[in-house]
Amino acid sequence: MAPRPVFFLAFANDRQDDRAFLRNLPEEKRRLRALLEGRKGQVEVVVRDNATLEEIFEVFQAAEYRDRIAVFHFAGHASSGALYLESREGAGTEAHGGGLAAFLGRQRGLELVVLNGCSSAEHGPRLLAAGVGAVVATSTAIDDAVATRFAEGFYRGLVGGGSVQRAFDEAVAAERATIGDDPERALRSLVPQAQRGEARWPWHLTVGEGGGAADRVLLPAPRPAAAGAKARLVPLLPYACDRHAQEGKLRADMSTYLSQDDGRPILVLVHGDERDAPTEFVQRVGVLTLPSLLGLAEGATIETPRRVVFKDAGRGAVGPRVEALLGQIGESLCGRARVTVAELADEAARLRAPILQELVWELGPQQAADPGVLLALLDRLAAWPRLAKGRALIFALVISYQATEAKGLGGWLRGLVSKGAAEKAEELVEALAAGCPEGLGVVALPPLETIGVGDVMTWIQEYGAHTVGDAASRLLLEERLRASLEALFDPRSARLRMRELVPALRQRYQSCLEQEGL
């Protein structure tokens, strides 16, 4: 039996200069690894984070990988003359293009090099001249998030059995569909557009003499699943919560706090209508977002103690009310209500893992928007002893509500004289963010809102990867689901509440699975 081909993914960042730090690299690694490991039986995936030049040489020259590496993917900073890898200290260091091309050209079996960094296209001719079959690179500076999406689309095409050329063309077309037909929106540059001339799409696929490498199918489409093998439907809501605005803000602000590593717990403020699933959004953050932000090793997890739904008396002195709220946190972390912040910290330290503690304040007739008592609680939590270096504690405070729809003239008039639940939640979050004590870092996210048809597209790909391991079958399911989405959203509604959307999506997904015999 022939050995499996190896896809070698190398990621390099600049960990000493915040301005040059590429915040999307962990997410790119997660997405590509998930795609390729869906074909675990046909391909072996080797990943190197914070890659140095020595580590790249070591992988190519290791006996177990010698002449088996079919694809080398680099993501990080680049220029026309060099790739910028890391030093042992985390700073960028040059890997000069000429020598690197000569080294890669001597690797038998290497069919494709992907240079997912800015202005890397001039490496293409060097690599082709050295003997590499095909090169994907960029002609200019490119936006970090756009680069990640393009890479995911390209590898999804390869995993689905497409040729190099087809996967490349599909990834470019998908990006154009996402950001529009203006190439300028894909670029990242401090040089004004007028000085750059006409903007062009930055991606280039160049192939060796004869062009045969473009037609190569590196991962032939898998055979259909055996009869009787059924897909496993995992809980759907956490994956349905595709929240780009919230996750983008979370990643940017959290990365700043984590780079400081000053030992403060971090407060993340989440708010939205209960029907838009704010709690499930927090689940998603714990499962998908925080592990990549924190750079956790494969298989490592976030500790998520039992969710705390605050019950506040709503009247009386602030002090006893805060003690009651702190006791509710104590019951989650320690199993007892009479605790001090120091005791909570001791219990958290025993978990020896990053912690995401969800706290929920439900606005409604029984519980008002009371910034005073919540700010007093935050003052208590701000006394949390400084965390050990590399540790993380995140309090996700969810302000949830269920807005009532105004019906008739009476409802409209009542809406004029009283603030709606959404507005009260927004004001409460603003007050907490402004008054948060310095002992806590704070990240205030935009409100969770209703879901549109565009928001569901990423869900289709992400959820499919967790239910159907067969890449070709996933592609069929994606097409069927896309076709059914128009009927779901139009003419009924351009936007839906998350909890309205999920049952309909689940029903359609199950139907597609049955149609495909999965």
What is the pLDDT at residue 251? 84
The per-residue pLDDT for 476 is 66
User: How far is Cα 38 from Cα 297, in angstroms, rounded to an integer?
Assistant: 19
Separation between Cα atoms, residue 355 and residue 504, nearest integer Å:
33
Its pTM stands at 0.51
Q: Which of 7, 33, 37 is nearest to 111 (CA)?
A: 7
Contact assessment for residue 75 and residue 138, using Cβ atoms and an 8 Å cutoff: no
Task: Identify the segments of the chain with pLDDT beneath 50.
Answer: 1, 189-197, 224-229, 231-241, 406-418, 490-493
Cα gap 136→163, rounded to integer Å: 13
Phi first, then psi, for residue 199 (nearest 5°) are -75, 135
Helix (H) or strand (E) holding 349: helix 341-350
**β-pairing verdict for 203-207 and 134-138:** antiparallel
Cβ pair 399, 422 in contact under 8 A:
no
Q: Which helix (H) or strand (E) holds 394?
A: strand 393-401
Bridge partners (DSSP) listed for residue 40: none
At residue 113, the pLDDT reads 96
| Structure token digits, residue 211 | 């062009």
Which residue type is seen at 124?
G
